[in-house]
């Protein structure tokens, strides 16, 4: 039995036992209710918590690091990716 078949079997058993809210098995077909259109109620608090955990960073810092990484990947030479060295921006 493949993993997909085993997973579907567990899903069907859970639906038959009433462990899945809004799901049932009718004539061998798994039926599910539609999810509500809006986000869950606690979403706003979760988003605010995630933003509080992120470090503060300036967009210019992100752009400088991204540019450096892109140059290193293109050239294969870490020295060419250093924006502090003269002549790097026009040397690609």
pTM confidence score: 0.33
Query: What residues does each domain of the chain span?
Result: 1-32, 56-84
Per-residue pLDDT of the chain (92 residues; tens, 9 = 90+): 699 999 988 887 888 788 888 887 788 788 888 877 788 778 889 999 999 998 888 888 888 888 888 877 777 666 554 555 554 444 44
Alpha-carbon gap, residue 49 to 32, rounded angstroms:
32
How far apart are alpha carbons 88 and 16 in whole angstroms?
A: 65
Pair 12, 30: CB distance under 8 Å: yes
Contact (CB, 8 A) for 32 and 22: yes
């Amino acid at each position: 039995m493949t993993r997909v078949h085993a997973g579907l079997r567990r899903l069907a058993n859970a639906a038959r036992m009433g462990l899945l809210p809004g799901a049932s098995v009718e004539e061998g077909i798994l039926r599910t209710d539609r999810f509500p259109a809006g986000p869950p109620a606690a979403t706003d608090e979760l988003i605010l918590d995630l933003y509080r955990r992120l470090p503060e960073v300036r967009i210019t810092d992100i752009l400088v690091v991204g540019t450096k990484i892109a140059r290193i990947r293109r050239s294969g030479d870490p020295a060419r990716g250093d924006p502090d060295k003269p002549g790097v921006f026009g040397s690609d």
